[in-house]
Amino acid sequence: MLKVNKLTKVFLSADNKVSAVKDVSMDVPDGVFSTIVGKSGSGKSTLLSLLGALDKPTSGSIEVGGEDVTRMGDSKLIKYRRDKIGFIFQNYNLIPNLTALENVTLPMEFAGIKKEERIKRAESLLKQVGLDLAKQNRKPGRLSGGEQQRVAIARALANKPKLILADEPTGNLDSATGKIIIDLLKDLARTENTTIVAVTHDEGIAKQAKITFTLKDGRLV
């Protein structure tokens, strides 16, 4: 269960103050596919970064499986991000000098999984998201945006996370590939009891979610 309580994030700069997330409380039970929708600038990516412990909230708390993420020390946070969370970034964040396959094996290496097993799993994940063997050995710079997105999705699934946070996971995909990705995420929710929170602009995807959260100017409406 993901439990968010009165989460607020204020960005401060010398002459400016932006409240990107305001007093957001939300619950997502285990194994539920949920979506976050809202206009550009409404705080979706900021909220997702807070949930993934990539950024610290100004106030409020986030509980995952009964543990308060906002109170974890650094070494615990590293493990939390590595083992519990699969994060699919809006801009992919792939490592440019590693191949697609290496981008997917890397989190497994950090988690101490043996080399043969890492490669086998990475190949299978990349195949699932529709990236053939030749492309698996290319670096991100030689892949299209949609292909990079698929690598990012495979990487997020590498360590079998309990919680997948996805920022526009199908934003750059044609509708057929987008459907494959959403079906894959929904399947994970059902078969592995994985909790999914996906930001989307796509109403068709939002409709398939069990819960949809709508953000407006940083607040849930």
Ligand X SMILES: Nc1ncnc2c1ncn2[C@@H]1O[C@H](COP(=O)(O)OP(=O)(O)OP(=O)(O)O)[C@@H](O)[C@H]1O
Residues near ligand X (CB under 6 A) are 11, 18, 20, 38, 40-46, 90
| CB-nearer residue toward ligand X: 20 or 51 | 20
Q: Which two tokens stand for residue 160?
A: 């079998």
Cβ–Cβ < 8 Å for 201, 37: yes
Work out the angle at residue 198's Cα, subtended by the Cα atoms of residues 146 and 59, and round it to the nearest 5 degrees.
130
Query: Can you say whether the dihedral through the CA atoms of 133, 136, 139, 145 is positive or negative?
Result: positive
Between 102 and 202, whose beta carbon lies closer to Mg ion? 202
Q: Which does 178 bind (CB under 5 to 8 A by kind): ligand X, Mg ion, none?
A: none
Q: Pick from 34, 45, 148, 194: which binds Mg ion (CB under 5 A)?
A: 45
Q: Which does 41 bind (CB under 5 to 8 A by kind): Mg ion, ligand X, none?
A: ligand X
The stretches of the chain forming alpha helices (DSSP H) are: 44-51, 74-84, 100-110, 115-128, 133-136, 145-157, 175-192, 203-208
Q: For the beta carbon of residue 112, count every other beta carbon within 10 angstroms.
A: 7
CB 23 within 8 A of CB 219: yes
Rule CB under 5 A: say whether 46 interacts with Mg ion: no
Angle between helices 145-157 and 100-110 (to 10 degrees): 20
Residue 159 C-beta: closest distance to Mg ion, Å: 24
Toward ligand X, which CB reaches closer, 43 or 57? 43
* Cβ nearer to ligand X, comparing 54 with 98: 54
For the bound state, the minimum distance from the C-beta of residue 217 to ligand X, rounded and expressed in Å, comes to 9
| Residue whose CB is less far from ligand X, 14 or 134 | 14
Q: At its nearest, how many Å lie between ligand X and the CB of residue 148?
A: 17
Burial class (CB in 10 A: 0-12, 13-18, 19+), 98: middle
Site string for Mg ion, 60-89 (x = CB under 5 A): ------------------------------
**Residue with Cβ nearer Mg ion (69 or 199):** 199
**Is the distance from CB of 7 to CB of 200 less than 8 angstroms?**
no
Q: With contacts defined by CB under 5 A, name the span among 25-33, 42-50, 55-63, 150-158 that binds Mg ion.
A: 42-50
Q: What are phi and psi of 127, to 5 degrees?
A: -65, -40
Residue 61, contacted partner among ligand X, Mg ion, none, CB below 5-8 A by kind: none
The interface partner of residue 43, options being ligand X, Mg ion, none and the CB cut-off 5 to 8 Å by kind, is: ligand X
Applying CB under 5 A, the residues found at the interface with Mg ion are: 45
